[in-house]
Each structure stands twice: as C-alpha cells, then as structure tokens.
C-alpha cells in the first residue's frame, strides 16, 4: 500500500546563476541570464556524493515531485509522490533525489513570465526560444552547484524522458544510468501537429495580446482548449470508455450547446484547472522545445564510441501519444552503440498517463534496476 506524502514536508529551493556577463549560451545562439531554477530535494546526499538521482518533469509538471509542499495540505502532494519516498521506487532512505523546474517554465524557474532585467517588465515573447538541450544545460549548472560530479541516474516520463536522453547525449561522462519512460528520440508529425493545434488555440484567443497579457489576465479560453486537446492524447480509448462511456450529466440530452456528456464536463474541468496554475506563454515555449527535440541522429557526441550509461527504457501498451515503437527505436539505437539497455513494455489501459499512474509495475522494474546500478557503481 502506497503511503502518500511520506517523502516529508518539502521546501522549494532556488539557485541563480548565469549572471551577466556570464549568461547561458542557448542552442539558438542567443544568451539568457541571470537564470533562476526552482528545485526540490528528497533524501540525503551521501559522503561519496554518488547516490544522486535527477528527475525530469513532463510538460505541465514542476519541481514538486514528491511529499507535501511546505505549508500546504494533502492536495499539494507531489506529482510523482507514489514513486519517490522511503521504500518506493526512488527510495529516499538510499538515494538523494532532485527535481527542478525547467527554464521556460512558470513554477519558479526563469521563463517568459519572469521579469526581464533589461526592461523591468515580464519577458513575454521576448524570452528566447529554448530547447531540451538548453533545459539540461541549465540543470547541469544546478548539479555542479550541489557538488555532484556524476549522477547515479537521470529519469523521467514524457518530456522528462527526453531530458534523460539529452543528459546522456550532452554529458555522457556524468550519467551512470538513465530511465527514459513513455518518450521518444524525436516528435513525429502527428505529435508536432497536436502541439501546433494547442499553440494556435492559445494565440487565437484575443486575450493573448501577442504574448503581452501580463497584468491584464491571460488567454484563459485558448489555454483551456489547448489543455483539453492535450488531455485527450494522455488517455486511451479504453480508459475513456471505462471512465466515462457515453454517460450523461443529466437524464436526457439538453438539445443545447451544453456539457451533456460526462467526458465534456471532465475536459472543461481539466482545462479550467490548468489556466489557474500554468502560464500560456510557457505552454507555447515548452511545446516548441518538445517539437525541436531530435536525437534520432545519435544519443552521443562520439558516434564510434560505445555508450557506457546503463539504460532501462519503459513504454506502455496503450500509450498512443508516445507509442511503444518509439521506445523500441531508442533501444535499437542504443544497441547499435553497444549500450547496456533493457526494454520493458507495461500492459496498461491508462494511455500516456500510465507513467504517472502505474506505480506498482514501475516500482518493481526501477527498484531492481537501480539496486544493480548502485551495487555496480564502485567498479565503474
């Protein structure tokens, strides 16, 4: 039985770096600084500093991955609380777990809603376009700040999985193992298409004001529609049938443009909740970063050199947003580079959301994988 919140009461921390004139050079060629990263940690870093695990969050996630946010109630449980804590997959009695909000985000890290020191106003769309590589480069500065030379593991689902892959591509010597979950080496045309429809929904809202809506109220209708579209892709046909079927909210059809079906009400609820916690411009920037991501040419800067990082690649049978063939392509490329890579496809009806919900199966796989990696660390 999962004990909720047993990672403890967590306080968000902040690290600021890249102060001018030492701004962070971005993949676009532009520079950004100063940069603040919001992050949380769980467990203790050991004396050898070799038990650190970095968690990457998905598109709408943040640094609050586990436990109870300081000063908050049960509703503020971390988004992966079922996986992080004493006795869980990422056992905080053994490992030091870190999760940071990505640059471009809106939960404490520098993003388009942050104040531009050059103007004294929010960056808005003057914020430079960022990539997954830029997110990882910023995380590397945080890991340096924490005094960690080599991470025991980098792990994440969806966009978090892309960050895990990018860590190995950018800093292979600093990653002992990686667990990319429900992710891909690159977005397919269909995945880009869904992101573009979401972005267009935001930008078509008159309240978007070309990104300059701060202080006036954000484009709630457009962002809510974008989230509704996205949420459909996170579920599976079977999970939607089991959860909603064609059940009505009332006894009969209204014969008006109202929320007749329970699934309609659910999507509107999800959309309305999203606009209260997420910035519309961050949504635009992060989805663009997802679409730019492409490691299909190789998960290493040295094509002829074997990859030393150990991998556990996890996919879910009902995930149609990031279907299992994309995870298998990751493994195929790793095997070409003679990497130690295991692949597991979990039978689940939850669709893409399975990486957040299938705690028991993932715990079994991940805990055994980490135990072996941690045991072997002295010989590496």
CATH number of 9-185+296-379: 3.40.50.1820
Residue-level pLDDT at 241 = 97
Is there a catalytic annotation at residue 352?
Answer: yes
Nearest to 343 by CA among 328, 363, 321: 328
Residue-level pLDDT at 303 = 66
CATH among 3.40.718.10, 1.10.10.10, 1.10.1740.110, 3.40.50.360 for 191-289 = 1.10.1740.110
Residue-level pLDDT at 258 = 93
Nearest to 280 by CA among 203, 343, 176, 363: 203
How far, CA to CA in Å, does 281 sit from each of 30, 169, 351? 18, 28, 27
pLDDT single digits (tens) 185-234: 999 999 999 999 999 999 999 999 999 999 999 999 999 999 999 999 99
What is the rounded CA–CA span in Å between residue 224 and residue 176?
A: 40
* Domain ranges across the chain: 9-185+296-379, 191-289
Residue-level pLDDT at 318 = 97
Annotated active-site residue in 158, 177, 236, 239: 158
Is there a catalytic annotation at residue 158?
Answer: yes
Find out whether the peptide bond into 83 is cis, omega within 30 degrees of 0: no
Residue-level pLDDT at 1 = 54
Residue-level pLDDT at 298 = 86
**Can you list the residues of the chain whose pLDDT is less than 50?**
74, 379-380
Annotated active-site residue in 57, 64, 187, 352: 352
Is there a catalytic annotation at residue 367?
Answer: no
Annotated active-site residue in 134, 260, 319, 353: 319
């Amino acid at each position: 039985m999962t004990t909720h919140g047993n990672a403890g009461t967590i306080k968000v921390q902040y690290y600021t770096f890249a102060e001018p004139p030492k701004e962070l050079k971005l993949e676009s060629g532009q520079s950004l600084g100063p940069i603040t990263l919001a992050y949380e940690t769980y467990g203790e870093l050991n004396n050898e500093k070799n038990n650190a695990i970095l968690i990457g969050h998905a598109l709408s996630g943040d640094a609050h991955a586990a436990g109870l946010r300081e000063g908050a109630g049960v509703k503020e449980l971390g988004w992966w609380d079922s996986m992080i804590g004493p006795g869980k997959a990422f056992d905080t009695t053994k490992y030091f777990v870190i999760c940071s909000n990505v640059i471009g985000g809106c939960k404490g890290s520098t993003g388009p809603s942050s104040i531009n020191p050059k103007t004294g106003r929010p960056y808005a769309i003057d914020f430079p376009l960022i990539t997954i590589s830029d997110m990882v480069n910023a995380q590397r500065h945080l890991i340096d700040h924490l005094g960690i030379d080599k991470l025991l593991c980098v792990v994440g689902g969806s966009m978090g999985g892309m960050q895990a892959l990018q860590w190995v591509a950018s800093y292979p010597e600093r990653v002992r193992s990686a667990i990319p979950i429900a992710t891909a080496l690159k977005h397919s045309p269909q995945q880009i298409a869904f992101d573009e429809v979401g972005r267009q929904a935001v930008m078509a809202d008159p309240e978007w004001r070309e990104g300059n809506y701060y202080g006036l109220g954000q484009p709630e209708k457009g962002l809510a529609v974008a989230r509704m579209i996205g949420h459909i892709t996170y579920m599976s046909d079977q999970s939607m049938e089991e959860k909603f079927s064609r059940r009505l909210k009332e006894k009969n059809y209204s014969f008006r443009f109202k929320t007749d079906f329970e699934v309609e009400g659910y999507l509107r609820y999800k959309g309305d909740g999203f606009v209260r916690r997420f910035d519309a411009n961050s949504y635009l920037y992060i989805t663009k970063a997802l679409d730019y991501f492409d490691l299909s040419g190789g998960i290493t800067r040295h094509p002829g050199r074997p990859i030393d990082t150990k991998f556990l690649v996890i996919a879910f049978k009902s995930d149609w947003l990031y279907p299992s063939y994309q995870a298998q392509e990751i493994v195929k490329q790793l095997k070409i580079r003679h990497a130690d890579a295991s692949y597991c496809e979990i039978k689940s009806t939850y669709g893409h959301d399975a990486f957040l919900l299938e705690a028991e199966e993932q715990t079994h796989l991940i805990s055994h994988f980490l135990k072996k990696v941690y045991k072997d660390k002295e010989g590496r």
